[in-house]
Amino acid sequence: MATHGPATPEFPAPGGQAAERYRRNRRSELAIWWREIDRPLLFMVLILMAIGAAAVAAASPASARRLSTDAENLSDLHFFLLNLRWQFLGLAVMLGVSQVKKVTARRIGILIAAVSIFLLLLVPVIGAEVNGARRWIRLGFSLQPAELLKAGFPIILAWILSWRARDPELPVIELSVVLMGLVALLLMLQPDFGSTILFGGTWFVLILLSGMSFRKIAVIGAAGAFALSATYLLYDNARHRIDAFLGGGTAFDQVDLAQRTLLNGGFTGTGFWLGARKYSLPEAHTDYVFSVIGEEFGLIACAVIVVIYFAILLRGLFRLLDEEDLFTVLAGAGLLSQLGGQAFINILVNLQLFPSKGMTLPFVSYGGSSTISLCLCVGLLLAITRRNPFLGKDGHVFPPTGDGR
């Protein structure tokens, strides 16, 4: 017969008053979480994930047939079914992380950043090479450390920059430059120019918000221009993509094809699984899923997606307006700018307004590491922006009693 040890507050004995009290406390914690998180932001992300499920289902046949071989014939729904698994896992991660306290969220972000940078150091040594780039580590599954870093980079950067609130003399800008330089170096060794640009943009937004002087802004701007010029001269892939974007070529043909696919459906689309141009798209389920949406669901659906992204950014920024904690403001702004930057780079590529970057559309494109990382980002954002709706700026709860007295 099984026996049970003595009940404790953490592990109450099954049944009885202790178990009931535990369940009641857990329900109370969930009620507090539901009241304090930014529910409109969560709902908009869930809408994007639902759109993503439909979009990957539409794009899956094109990618499955392109990637099928004599040895492995992929079903038309191959990537759709895989994407559902990643989405459910990502949703669990997002909701779980969103329930932690702000201090815990900061620690999680810093830990993720540290682990990601360590993995980036290992990529040149043990990383797997795909299409000429070494960006993945095989751990029974493919893990892309650069994607994981997206959840931790804004957090650790905001943490460093927020030290200025305690001691204005600390060289926080210089420390952030060292961190950004290390990340950029590790990414370019892969090489991954697109992620370098995204992290660099996030870093620039945060140092501007931290109150940097105009002189330092000018110096950093000049250094950035020099770095881009050096990249163009020394990095063949970036030079070829930029040249192709400006003057034609293979990469230009891909982006041009994406734009033609996007416009093929008109305002209302050809209908689900009725698009024809998508079958000639490379990476229809990832980089160019926005074009598949345009062909099968129409330009109106594309416009709705753009509006949702703008709404997420505005909602997040408005949520930060009343924050007085510097870390919260910087971390929230960093996570939002990174999310928005990735989304609009992908959309601009599909519109033939930006060189091809190999960047997914957040919550819409298929992806394993990408989906988990983005859900982690939103989970951390929801956690650090949790707010008691009955707590005033002076720290007093209102109304103090149910009758408003």
Residue 315 lies in a domain: yes
Instruction: Record the pTM.
Output: 0.85
Give the number of other Cβ atoms within 10 Å of residue 246's Cβ: 10
Percent of the chain with pLDDT over 70: 81
Residue 114 in tokens:
């540290």
Among candidates 48, 89, 46, 44, which has minimal Cα distance to 365? 48
**Residues in Cβ contact with 403 at an 8 Å cutoff, skipping those fewer than 6 apart:** none
- In sequence order, the 6+-apart residues with CB closer than 8 A to the CB of 9 are none
31 part of a folded domain: no
CA distance 367 to 389: 35
- Least Cα distance to 106 among 381, 387, 316, 372 occurs for 381
Out of 5-14, 42-51, 155-164, 185-194, which region has the weakest mean confidence (pLDDT)?
Answer: 5-14
Note the pLDDT of residue 2: 47
Average of per-residue pLDDT across 236-242: 62
What pLDDT does residue 226 have? 75
Establish if 19 belongs to a structural domain: no
**CA 205 to mean position of chain CA atoms:** 16
Please say if the pLDDT value at position 248 is more than 80.
no
Task: Give me the number of domains the chain comprises.
Answer: 1
pLDDT (tens digit per residue) in 338-394: 999 999 999 998 888 877 777 899 999 998 889 999 999 999 999 999 886 665 544
Which of 195-204, 230-239, 258-267, 282-291 is the least confident region? 230-239
Is 396 within the bounds of a domain? no
Domain that includes residue 240, residue range: 38-384
What does residue 4 show for φ and ψ, rounded to 5 degrees? -120, 140
**E strands of 85-170, at which residues?**
128-130, 133-138, 142-143
Asked whether residue 8 carries a pLDDT value surpassing 60, the answer given is: no
Mean pLDDT of the chain: 83
Give the CA distances from residue 137 to residues 62, 148, 373, in Å, rounded to whole numbers and listed in that order.
Answer: 27, 12, 15
Residues 6+ apart with CB under 8 A from 373: 147, 148, 149, 150, 151
Task: Tell me if 403 is assigned to some domain.
Answer: no
Residue 77: predicted pLDDT? 92
pLDDT digits (tens, 9 = 90+) for 329-351: 999 999 999 999 999 999 998 88
Q: pLDDT tens digit string along 295-327?
A: 999 999 999 999 999 999 999 999 998 888 999
Q: What are 140-172's pLDDT values in tens digits?
A: 677 889 999 999 999 999 999 999 878 888 888
- Cβ-in-10-Å burial (0-12, 13-18, 19+) of 346 comes to buried
- Name the nearest CA neighbour of 360 among 286, 305, 255: 286
Residue 252: count of CB within 10 angstroms of its CB = 19
- Which pLDDT tens digit goes with each residue over 119-129? 999 988 887 77
400 burial (CB, 10 Å; 0-12 / 13-18 / 19+) is exposed
- State which H helix or E strand residue 395 sits in: none
Domain membership of residue 275 (yes or no) is yes
Is 4 part of any domain? no
1 pLDDT more than 50:
no
Q: What is the DSSP letter of 387?
A: -
Q: What is the pLDDT of residues 61-117, one digit of tens each?
A: 999 988 887 677 889 899 999 999 999 999 999 999 999 999 999 999 999 999 999
**pLDDT at residue 98 in the model:** 95
Give the Cα separation of 170 and 161 in Å (integer).
9
Q: Give the distance, in angstroms, between the CA of residue 80 and the centroid of all CA atoms in the same chain.
A: 20
Q: Note whether 86 and 372 are within 8 A (CB).
A: yes
pLDDT at 194: 85
Residue 393 included in any domain: no
